[in-house]
Amino acid sequence: MSVFAQLQDAMATTLNVEPAKITEQTSADNLTEWDSLGHVNLMMAIEQTFDIYLEVEDFPKLTSVDAILAHLQQQGVS
């Protein structure tokens, strides 16, 4: 499964939305379910899905699929 597909799956499950609603253009600004609480849950979910550790400082930066994919790539997730 590609990194995006894994992310899509984790995000859809965590935010309780259809996987189709998660695209590379999705961000906290255009998805209602991605609110501040959903965001915290999402950070935890991403950590566990990709077995990485996110710094508190990263939380506010990772508010779009684009930003998350970039961060994962930077962490060496492939």
Partner 1 sequence: MTKPLPIDRTLEAQSRPELRGLLPHAADQLNVVWAQKLIRHCAILEPTTGALRIAIVHSYTSELLNPWLSLATAVQGLDLEVYHAPYGLGLQEADAGSALVAHAPDLTLFLLEREAIHPTFGAPLAQHDQHTQQRIADEVLDRLCSILQRFRAQPIGRMLLTLLPARVGPALGAHDTQSDRSEARWWSALKGRIAGCLNDSMPAAALLDLDEALLDIGRDHFFDNRLWYSARFPFTARAAFEVASRVVEQGVLLKQPKAKVIALDADNTLWGGIIGEDGVGGIALGPDYPGNCYLDFQRRLLDLQQRGFVLALCSKNNAADVEQVLDAHPHQLIKDHHLVAKRVNWVDKAANLRELAKEINVGLNSFVFVDDSAHEIAAVRRLLPEVETVQMPTDPLQVPSVLECVARLQVLSLTDEDRTKTGLYLAERQRRTHKAHFGGRSSDLGDYLASLEMRMDVVYDGAAQVARLAQLTQKTNQFNLTTRRYDDRQMAEFIAADDWRVAHFSLADVFGDSGIVGLAMVRLLDAGTAELDVFLMSCRVIGREAERAFLETLLGRLERDGVRALLADFVPTAKNALVKDFLAQNGFSPRTDGRYERTLARHADPSGAQSARPAPPIQVTESDGAPDREPSRGH
Q: Which residues bind partner 1 (CB under 8 A)?
A: 10, 13-14, 16, 36-37, 40-41, 44-45, 47-49, 54, 56, 59
Whole-angstrom Cα distance, residue 55 to residue 5?
23
CA separation for the pair 70, 61 (Å, rounded): 11
CB of 5 to partner 1, least distance (A): 14
Closest distance between partner 1 and the C-beta of residue 40, in Å? 5
CA distance 8 to 72: 13
Q: Which amino acid is at 42?
A: L
Measured from the CB atom, the residue of 30 and 48 that comes closer to partner 1 is 48
CB of 73 to partner 1, least distance (A): 21
